[in-house]
Structure 1
Amino acid sequence: MWGLVTTIAYTGFLAGPPIVGGLAHVSSLVVSIGFVALVAALIIPATWLAKRATRQPAGV
């Protein structure tokens, strides 16, 4: 499990800045920062859904 978390973190660390820079290059810095804010805002609902999906049913 921790290997998956580490892989996702390193991928975001390495791929995030070029993606944001490329998006800013083709559009504007405001759009790219808005994209970062959108992705950051989606982290909490994604963790809630992942936690609910891995929860064991009662009585098991």
Structure 2
Amino acid sequence: MDDISSKYLTQMIERDHIYSVLELAGHLPYAVRDVINEASRLGYSFDNIMQDPNKVMIDKK
């Protein structure tokens, strides 16, 4: 994921409080798995990570 998309991802999580990985991927030109990988690299944790990737939520902690 490029730097601009990574910053936008962080902004959507922190400011806009979007926690659904599927919804986040809808705002970015990346697949759900790419969003999961980038969010993980940024230090976010997840709920439902072992289930359907489309249902993964970023932990709000």
User: Is TM more than 0.5 here?
Assistant: no
Higher relative contact order (CA 8 A, sep 6+): 2
- The TM tier, using the shorter chain, reads 0.3 to 0.5
Normalising by structure 1, report the TM-score: 0.32
Normalising by structure 2, report the TM-score: 0.32
Larger Rg: 1
Query: Which has the larger strand fraction?
Result: 2
